[in-house]
Structure 1
């Protein structure tokens, strides 16, 4: 074979194969294939096998972990699971602003609707996420196979677990979670974040970012390399971020630390110790109603200057949260056929939320009992502004384990997950000083009743235990082209709640048991083409503590919520049919169907001045739709990406409101736009790089009666960068510019607090049911971020 024919053949095979194509200027790596079985149609001369040295060109990974080899610019890494599944690699993650959370980064993937609340993506407390119309409390969140979302509220505080520079990949399953996943809320999908492994070489990585809204962020990671003959390697990193609110007053700050120690040995045996600490402090942004937005736009904010008696002062709307995360995953190859995975973990969270409210000095209630004359100066008058604080502590230890037995074509897995969760929440009211200063959010010096006890809206504690057992069998047939998998998981959730509020039921609780069978089958038509089908079930216990507590108005003493012990969990049955092709152009297409009972829709309401998370039982729901992804491998440096989803969903029954029912049957569900999609184009020639991505989200309903909705919107982001020359001290230093929300000055990006009906509506039995205005997230305006970084 001539060298020209060999070059042409190698180039053609490269373009058609799953492996990425080499680019000009890449380093060469010689691979000896002499031990592989010779192909009769190649390299056979005079009846004897001739072995050649095949040259494979690969660009080495840059200091930020990018390789420039993933389809779609890092938006379409290869997948082979028998379910709808998408992902992000370092090629995409590293091109984003370092301030973005993983929840914001998956916005390009099919079926995802991200409702941002600030352009820098810094606010985990106020952002929305839905996948196939299911909100973020219905999406399981795993960090290194640990259920990292708070087990009661189920909101994925994804930026609290790792800095972006330490995230290796993000995988999103748009459907039910895997049988063995340690989750009990993933009826709508599973997002899994993986941390990078420590480097074999000693060194590190440093970066700084500056930009709009006085953004200031620094990051430093130090690598130990392999420590002598122990085989242990590790890294530790620290970052700081400060930025002003993009609308309204206030500054947010974040301190974060990541650490990982790791050792690998033998055949697929490894052990790690992972630790992260995150501390954030910021201010809530006002979620406006539609009328407020139409009247004031982005000026619908809390007040920036304090006037005595004003409860809407921004400093009253503060939140602080600190999280410690510790896990020790171990994978052991016990024998040729048996392996064991163990992941013990411990998560501890503490913090407070505060909101401005107005209290009556003589007419307030503590539970259902009159508080008497509150112990505040008489100069405050008959009513005065105060700060309602919600102090909380969350302790969450657990163990996730799986034992695997594999022989030839069959793999049997037995999994067990145990979780213990201790949550306590205590409300207090504190008095600001004459200038509106609040130095007492922890409630150390609360406002007292006439009897000398602290004024409170709730004093609750919840204990939860989860036991989950799973059994999965996977069978490979027809030379591993056909893979069949069947599994069953049994989830048992037990909750016990105590409430010390005067007049409230002292003890309450609930238990849930749910069997979750799954089946899937996939078939490889060719080495690059796969079809799959699956049938799944999902389960979600009610989120929040509100359903299990008696609540009373602090202004009237009337009971506003009756504690329930029969809150029904959500259950889903889903089916998917999909096709994938990997090659120069990768394609993924899937159609899906869901049926829900007791659909739980998360929302937020204000009770006694405190923002409260709760669930609305949306009854039955049916959803059918299709999604797709297209991604091109890097070709002359360019790599485009396209994704989209169509979904048709309906509410299957009328929803109860008081003693009557709203005529919601056949209406469209909230947070479920019919159309959504994304377009991306990346470029990387080794020196210059860039990424453009745009999103479209169709009109979205905010009420179950479909009497209010927000219009569709489109956003676009641009990233540009240049890599400098590597020196003996610096490895691929680079300059990067991120332009976020091009051409946007603010828009309604999603629904914050849903409502049954906006307008007064006649119920099924003839009762007039009063309406309530939903509230919305305001998408951020334009922002620019400049980043300098380098390995060393």
Structure 2
């Protein structure tokens, strides 16, 4: 959005608020020239975009949401260095939290990115970081065409890369502290004939928590195929994600002061967890809520869509996407409040997550001289189980 405001226009606005009747002419004021406000085509709100080159500046495996925090008005926090630990991640734009924002991938609704949400999945589980081409952030009112039920305070739209025009293999290997390793492998077919190209990528990452005990691991497959015919295009995309992440202990201001920043759950010291469940506390611990033995989250996701972007005539285009998302997940934690039947003062509590959703998003756009007319609809069927 471009808005031209001159010092002369400001003075005239002050005079207009002061005088009743015609505004007095200023010296050297052009008689027949109006001040002009110019808006970019189709956009009258602030929309910021991060490109692939900007996203690639982040460390491998870095959360795309974390990369956005360099934009004005965007806030992101997490308890892990890469920002992928979903339980402790928080995202907001100009004071609107993630439950009030819309998130999409290639137009597909991703829910609100919260832990255990009922209508989506995190962007990290939907696509590998290396396969994101750009991100558009609307910091004001979101586009009415955004497929979201929570986009009152803006939107974040992710777009996947298209397959490359030439055959190629991309391999990236990363090693770091806390026994971390990450392997990303991508194969681009190039043009296979008939204006068709595709890619498939595999990701495997593993790391220990930066404090305490427990692994963080992820396996992911992405595949995309694009076929052109004339000025139309058909695209298909598949994502398969398997994530296993160990939880960090939640810290309050009081527990942080007593136990320090490096405090975490008891694992692998099972005896200390047993003692705490019996009320025997050591090392500054004062309650059973200061830590548990162990906790983790498991998430299995499959996401797929087929998109047809068709030129119907010289003035009209139809864009339709059919999508499906399946999620199975569990949350585990060792509770000291319910004993096991065996007599141990600790038992395992699980939370089961399940999503089966599918839908269609379609829009018809017609360009009539200087006017653009559009119509569309979004339908989704979602069965959520908790």
The answer as to 2:270 corresponding to 1:270 is: no
Deviations 1:93-112 (A, max 9, x none): 11111111111110101111
Q: Choose from 318, 323, 338 the match for 2:296.
A: 318
Quickly say closer, same or farther: Cα 1:156–1:422, change in 2 above 3 A: closer
In the other structure, the counterpart of 1:393 is 354
5+ residue gaps, structure 1, are: 1-77, 362-373, 426-792
In the other structure, the counterpart of 2:263 is 300
In the other structure, the counterpart of 1:371 is none
What is the Cα deviation at residue 79 of structure 1? 9.6
Quickly say closer, same or farther: Cα 1:333–1:315, change in 2 above 3 A: farther
Quickly say closer, same or farther: Cα 1:314–1:279, change in 2 above 3 A: farther
CA distance in 2, matches of 1:257, 1:161: 10
2:200 match: secondary structure: strand
The answer as to 2:104 corresponding to 1:142 is: yes
Quickly say closer, same or farther: Cα 1:413–1:79, change in 2 above 3 A: closer
CA distance in 1, matches of 2:353, 2:298: 10
CA distance in 2, matches of 1:290, 1:155: 32
CA distance in 2, matches of 1:116, 1:123: 7
What is the Cα deviation at residue 322 of structure 1? 1.1
Quickly say closer, same or farther: Cα 1:125–1:277, change in 2 above 3 A: farther
Rg (Cα) greater in structure:
1
**Stretches (4+) displaced over 4 A:** 150-156, 310-315
Q: Choose from 192, 196, 199 the match for 2:157.
A: 192
Is contact 2:102-2:112 (8 Å) kept?
no
Quickly say closer, same or farther: Cα 1:412–1:246, change in 2 above 3 A: same
Quickly say closer, same or farther: Cα 1:79–1:402, change in 2 above 3 A: closer
What is the Cα deviation at residue 146 of structure 1? 0.2
Deviations 1:141-186 (A, max 9, x none): 1001000227954676111111111111011111222111111101
Quickly say closer, same or farther: Cα 1:408–1:79, change in 2 above 3 A: closer
Quickly say closer, same or farther: Cα 1:410–1:420, change in 2 above 3 A: same
Answer 1 or 2: which has greater strand percent.
1
In the other structure, the counterpart of 1:171 is 136
In the other structure, the counterpart of 1:261 is 225
CA distance in 1, matches of 2:363, 2:42: 21
In the other structure, the counterpart of 1:209 is 174
CA distance in 1, matches of 2:69, 2:86: 15
The answer as to 2:156 corresponding to 1:159 is: no
Quickly say closer, same or farther: Cα 1:147–1:341, change in 2 above 3 A: same
In the other structure, the counterpart of 2:191 is 226
Answer 1 or 2: which has greater helix percent.
2
What is the Cα deviation at residue 338 of structure 1? 1.6
Q: How many residues align?
A: 329
Quickly say closer, same or farther: Cα 1:360–1:195, change in 2 above 3 A: closer
Quickly say closer, same or farther: Cα 1:87–1:315, change in 2 above 3 A: farther
In the other structure, the counterpart of 1:409 is 370
Correspondence list, 1:582-593, <5 A: none
Is contact 1:141-1:156 (8 Å) kept?
no
Correspondence list, 1:298-447, <5 A: 298-304=261-267, 305-307=269-271, 309=274, 310=276, 316-359=294-337, 376-377=341-342, 379-380=343-344, 384-425=345-386
What is the Cα deviation at residue 121 of structure 1? 2.4
CA distance in 2, matches of 1:133, 1:276: 32
Is contact 1:247-1:298 (8 Å) kept?
no
What is the Cα deviation at residue 265 of structure 1? 2.5
CA distance in 2, matches of 1:247, 1:316: 13
Is contact 1:398-1:417 (8 Å) kept?
yes
Is contact 1:250-1:315 (8 Å) kept?
no
1:165 match: secondary structure: helix
Deviations 1:496-527 (A, max 9, x none): xxxxxxxxxxxxxxxxxxxxxxxxxxxxxxxx
2:163 match: secondary structure: coil
5+ residue gaps, structure 2, are: 1-39, 278-287
Deviations 1:223-255 (A, max 9, x none): 111112x21100000010000111221111100
What is the Cα deviation at residue 315 of structure 1? 5.8
What is the Cα deviation at residue 222 of structure 1? 0.4
Is contact 1:271-1:328 (8 Å) kept?
yes
After TM superposition, the structure 1 stretch with the greater mean CA deviation from structure 2, 138-147 or 278-287, is 278-287
Deviations 1:403-434 (A, max 9, x none): 11221111111110001111112xxxxxxxxx
What is the Cα deviation at residue 124 of structure 1? 2.6
1:329 match: secondary structure: strand
CA distance in 1, matches of 2:42, 2:359: 30
Is contact 1:202-1:223 (8 Å) kept?
yes
In the other structure, the counterpart of 2:248 is 285
Greater relative CO (CA pairs within 8 A, separation 6+): 1
Is contact 1:256-1:278 (8 Å) kept?
yes
Normalization by structure 2: what TM-score? 0.81
Is contact 2:223-2:239 (8 Å) kept?
yes
The answer as to 2:34 corresponding to 1:94 is: no
Quickly say closer, same or farther: Cα 1:279–1:360, change in 2 above 3 A: closer
Deviations 1:479-500 (A, max 9, x none): xxxxxxxxxxxxxxxxxxxxxx
Deviations 1:46-70 (A, max 9, x none): xxxxxxxxxxxxxxxxxxxxxxxxx
CA distance in 2, matches of 1:100, 1:279: 17
CA distance in 1, matches of 2:306, 2:103: 18
CA distance in 2, matches of 1:91, 1:173: 20
CA distance in 2, matches of 1:154, 1:109: 27
1:210 match: secondary structure: strand
CA distance in 2, matches of 1:424, 1:150: 17
In the other structure, the counterpart of 1:250 is 214
In the other structure, the counterpart of 1:238 is 202
1:299 match: secondary structure: coil
